[in-house]
Structure 1
Amino acid sequence: MDTGGPPGVDGPWLLCPWCAGPVPLTHLVASDDEPGAQVAVCTGCGRRVSFLPPTEP
């Protein structure tokens, strides 16, 4: 099934802020540096990408 995403990425993803490469959400893990943040490595450029989910209202 084609999700309209980058080739080779199965499931939802984020775009890398440096190269716009795909960062699959399944690669996110809890950050050791920032509480509440999650990090992953971009499949395009290999840089570390961090994501801080929004807080609930």
Structure 2
Amino acid sequence: MTRTEFERLATLARLRHTPSKEAARMVLTGDMRPGEAAKISGSSPQAVTNALRKIKDAMASAS
């Protein structure tokens, strides 16, 4: 996934600019595990999982 695709989906999912959104971006646009991205971004693993779920739901509704 490109950064542009991620931002489009994040907008559809109504994600605000938070550490968990940044962590989800790291997971989906890079090669990083959610727990590692959570540590780097200062977010909780649960918040990252929730953001990833919202992005995946947005992907499903966009197709």
Q: What TM-score bracket applies, with the shorter chain setting the length?
A: under 0.3
Name whichever structure is richer in helix by fraction: 2
TM-score by length of structure 1 reads 0.27
Q: Which has more radius of gyration?
A: 1
TM-score by length of structure 2 reads 0.25
